[in-house]
Amino acid sequence: MSHNISHEKMQLEQIITGAAGFVGEHLCSRIAKTSALSKTAALDLLPLTQGNLASSQTDIRLASMLSELTEKWSAPVLIHLAALAEVIMPFSSMADLNNTNVQGTINLLQAFDPNRFVFASSSAVYGSVHNRSACPLASEAAAIGTYGASKVMGEIICTEWAAERLANAVILRFGNIVGPGCRGLIPYIVSHALRYPDGEVPAQLRGQGRIIRDYIPVEVAVESLLKAASLPLQPGQSAIFNVGSGFGLSNKEVAEVVADVLRRQGYQLELNFDNPIPAGESEAVVLEISETSERLGVHPPSTDAVMQSIEQATHWHIHHSHE
């Protein structure tokens, strides 16, 4: 029996989790255009749209499902994108947050035990960082919310796993990723404008428009993931990189770009920034990205490139809301 399983097992180059998500779809689309097509497999809890990749609809919270999948797939590299990614989580969702972001990470490492684990972390691990850029160090993690804390736990888990197994972990702390299909501020504003096209009800935003984030086009995030999969490292070594633009944009600046696109499409939009910043959401994070350029070979996007990605995301959400 074991001989048959070994014979049928797909020897892959990489497995991608969260492949049906925003970044996952862009990553799989990029890979599907290369010669590595037959060497990549994708899994997600949701159905996958990349029909030309080997795929499985699998729940990483269930170790038994992953164990079954290891009888079919084996790969030296695992790119882990699957997560609950809401920064502000109600108490009722915290058990699922833990089961997905923390236990799910453990389940994957136990099941596949790859040589290289690429972990999609978040700038939320930093909490609020004022008057300087956040440095990609384990000691810099100071999460103020449960989502950020779950990512800190994921980082620690994969770093300690790598040291124990003499494997590698590459941790990518992403800024706010924008582009076609993104989540968060942009689709909220678009959906609000489409619901109230005459602007009679203001869109409710936070922090007097002074919440600062480091925004990055999804293409740069995808490039970073691919580079992280092949970064030279010694056995047992881990590395942390920030993936961002290196400059901050306020939620007011981003909202005005989105609003400008909507107004050119004939929508009226009023923005109200008087709502307080909720507990667990940071006031400001800008990323230090020099090591990302030097060691990972991923160069920061220009201001124009970031703005263009925000506009593209806005057009995408307007178009897809009508489908």
pLDDT tens string 132-182: 999 999 999 999 999 999 999 999 999 999 999 999 999 999 999 999 999
pTM above 0.85, yes or no: yes
pLDDT of amino acid 323: 57
Measure the CA angle with vertex 287, ends 286 and 292; round to 5°: 160
Residue with tokens 């590299």: 77
Chain-centre distance of CA 28, in angstroms? 14
Output Rg (C-alpha) for the chain, integer angstroms.
20
Cα separation of the two ends of the chain: 49
Q: What is the DSSP string of 267-308?
A: -B--EEEEEPPPTT--SB--B--HHHHHTS--PPPPHHHHHH
Q: What is the DSSP string of 94-139?
A: HHHHIIIIIIHHHHHHHHH--SEEEEEEEGGGG----SSPBP--GG
Q: Which residue has the higher pLDDT, 262 or 33?
A: 262
Measure the CA angle with vertex 243, ends 240 and 247; round to 5°: 125
Query: What residue ranges do the domains of the chain occupy?
Result: 2-178+217-243
pLDDT digits (tens, 9 = 90+) for 228-287: 999 999 999 999 999 999 999 999 999 999 999 999 999 999 999 999 999 889 999 999
Q: How confident is the model at residue 47 (pLDDT cuts 50, 70, 90)?
A: confident
| Contact criterion met (CB below 8 Å) for 140 and 288 | no
Q: Taking Cα atoms as reference points, which of 99, 109, 104, 125 lies closest to residue 168?
A: 109
For the domain bounded by 2-178+217-243, which CATH number is listed?
A: 3.40.50.720
User: What is residue 197's DSSP assignment?
Assistant: T
pLDDT of amino acid 285: 98
Strands (E) in 10-127, as ranges, are 10-11, 14-17, 40-44, 54-57, 73-74, 77-80, 116-122
Chain-centre distance of CA 312, in angstroms? 18
pLDDT of amino acid 322: 64
H/E run at residue 4: helix 2-8
Chain-centre distance of CA 293, in angstroms? 19
